[in-house]
Structure 1
Amino acid sequence: LESRLEAAGAALQELQAAQDRPEPAARFENPVLNPQSRMLTVDIVAQVPDVHASSLDVGFCRVGEPYSLAWKLGTLSPHADGVTYTGTVTFPLDLDMGLELRLADDTVLYSSATIAPLLPLQMQSGGSGFHYSYERQELSLLDFGVHLMSPSGEETEPADGVFRLYQNGTLIHTIRETADRPMLDVDGTVQDGVTIPCAPGDRVRLTYACSDPFGLRYEFPLYEQKAMRWDDMEECPLSKTPSLAWPE
């Protein structure tokens, strides 16, 4: 019985150690864009336990493709903890690309269907307050705001930030925050909110367009709402992936 208890205790310790051991993963930090050459430089920080290698080979792949088809290879250097590996890589940036970072044994360290999570600007939160009146068939919007951050989680300020309000797919207002908040610059007129005619079934989308410090242009979808036959709006499914454009 004592022998069986000791074996069970050892197995439990091994299980606990396995659960506490971090899964292989990687993150990207300090992105630097060169809009002339359209190249992206990023630092890679990978957590890869139980390897203890003098270096770690990684491959940049299309989503779902193996390491053997990597379109770029890189090497990461180990830290003293034996788990963390870091390196810096530069590669041509296709704004429509997806990305997987793999080890030579095809362990996936990172996977994303878009390149957006690697870029200098990330949307943390944003939107506006709104109220829909079915009786007046009007939509009122106020209290606009956004919070943007870098990939490492630091708050950052965009350039040329502007809200864009679309109704049924057509841009109807361009809205900027002013120093005298909550006043807004709506198409060049300062006012405290926006009111638009809105019939049941109309769809209203709010986005935020801005540039990062390197000039890359983003348009972040914030929300899309559909007016209903009572004083309410129905939220429509919306991808949070920004549209991207190089500076002209």
Structure 2
Amino acid sequence: MFARKMRIGPVTRNITKLLDMKSMQKLDELSHFNPSPLSLRQFVEFGKIASEADSFDFLRREVPLRMANVMKEINLLPSVLLQMPSVLLIQEWYARSFMELCAFDGLPGERETLGKFVNNLAEIQRRHVNVVQTLAQGVLELRESHSIDSHTENSIQYFLDRFYMSRISTRMLTNQHLVLFGKEDEKAGAPPPVIQPNRIGVIDTDCKIKGLVEQAFQNAAFLCEEY
């Protein structure tokens, strides 16, 4: 189920050089929709009862939809930032991943398809592992080569906040699927993972939030002081 449509114009600029016509049409179609909001409770309940086919059926549209929204927003960035080599590289990663996921559209949830989907999600995660650092490098490249006014600075910061939140939520979706249904350990001949009753996929239902938040704050503070 998808939220109400967002009225946004066609995708333009750099992305047109990276996608074929069919993928461009799919991107424009999906970018008109908001991602489906999911609570932790929904993640837990879904992880308890959903089959791999159910998860596949949801993710093969939801993840490309989220990517389409990100790609659309990237193309709204100031043109000087879009031309930075690091940003161009990120667009290439997203375009490739988007086309790979769209290839599953309409396929039945059979065992072979489900296996290919798991492998594809794992490959996309490896491809996107350095997205945060690469985008930060693009912003640094811009600041070193151009004078940025306050309006442009605010626009970039607004985009970064939305981009990183979208990345976190999308990785949450893909990680959950990979942990619940991934079979890489079995293929490698490794013993099956130990089942922990307090874990539903990547979610620890006994997680102590306060301690984790304090630890994350301390780590972030240390990094800021260092760099």
TM-score band w.r.t. shorter chain: under 0.3
- If each structure's strand is expressed as a fraction of its own residues, which one has the higher value? 1
Which of the two has greater helix per residue? 2
- TM-score (normalizing by structure 1): 0.21
